[in-house]
Amino acid sequence: MKVKSFSQILRQSIKKSKSQLCVGLDIDLDKMSPKSSDSLNNLKKITKNLIDQTIDNVVAYKLNLAFFEVFGSKGYKWLEDTIKYIDGKKLLIGDGKRGDIGNTTNKYANSLFDHFGFDAITVSPYMGQDSIIPFIKYKNKGIFVLCLTSNPSARDIQLKEASGLSVFRRVISMVRDIDDNKNLGLVIGATKPEQIADIRLEAGDLPFLIPGIGAQGGNLEESLLAGNNENGLAIINVSRSIIYSKDPSFSSRDYNEKINNIIS
């Protein structure tokens, strides 16, 4: 049987779920209101409630590994339980921004794709294509490479001009060069909407994962209009403004409707 590429899987998942919204499950008890017990059992309960409330409105969940890792091995158990609870109903993005070489990258691929069962991951490009290629052979799994991020100090490295091209543009061309399996994508921060349209032109049909909407101040409409088209899809990640809202069910439905209105 022919294995579908991640880009095909993403397209079908968007169609099926009628959603390009990804909810980031960055659960931080310090930000929960009312402040509640920090036992892992309580965290697991909160996670499951959040999933129940949002699952009809999303195409994917993004699991930020730091928020689990802070509890050590027990936190990774919580991650395993969360993945099991979602049970393949939605795409799962493991957001760990891993970036290493050869042997080590193979281990990360085994970990994130085989052990945890993520459908997609985020990767940092600083070590070059060696740090991406070992993931590519998993054709049905997605690899979103950090390109232009939403934080102020993105300028320290990403916006430097390197031999006439800014560093993040070099990342785009490097990613396109090695995308033989149609399973690569880019992480593009929503706080730079003026640049997203240019990036879309250069990136062809690479899917975008766009964080930075909501708490980080990115503009949803501008980002989507610039980053999403029929060939090149964008999924919008929202974390804090949904998971810490009074009514995550309402806010995820509201975000999803807004997204669908903008792109229709």
> Which C-beta is closer to its own copies: that of 126 or that of 250?
126
> Cβ 124 to its own copies, closest distance in Å?
5
Q: Which is nearer to its own copies, 28 or 202 (CB)?
A: 28
Say if CB 220 and CB 21 are below 8 A apart: no
Ranges of H-type helices in 178-247: 193-203, 220-227, 240-243
The gap from C-alpha 210 to its chain's centroid, in whole angstroms, comes to 7
Smallest distance from its own copies to CB 96, Å: 8
Beta carbon of residue 80, minimum distance to its own copies (angstroms, whole number): 6
* Strand duo 184-188 + 91-98: pairing: unpaired
DSSP secondary structure letters along 107-134: HHHIIIIIIS--SEEEE--TT-GGGTHH
State yes or no: is 141 an active-site residue.
Answer: no
Q: Which stretch binds its own copies (CB under 8 A): 10-18, 53-61, 153-161, 248-256?
A: 153-161
Does 129 participate in binding its own copies (rule CB under 8 A)?
yes
Of residues 108 and 228, the one with the C-beta less far from its own copies: 108
Query: Distance of CA 77 to CAs 67, 83, 91, Å?
Result: 12, 10, 19
Rounded distance, CA 189 to CA 100, Å? 22
Which sequence positions are flagged as catalytic? 97
- Residues in contact with its own copies by the rule CB under 8 A: 26, 28, 64, 66-67, 69-77, 79-80, 97-105, 107-108, 110-111, 115-116, 124-131, 146, 149-158, 160-163, 167, 170-171, 174
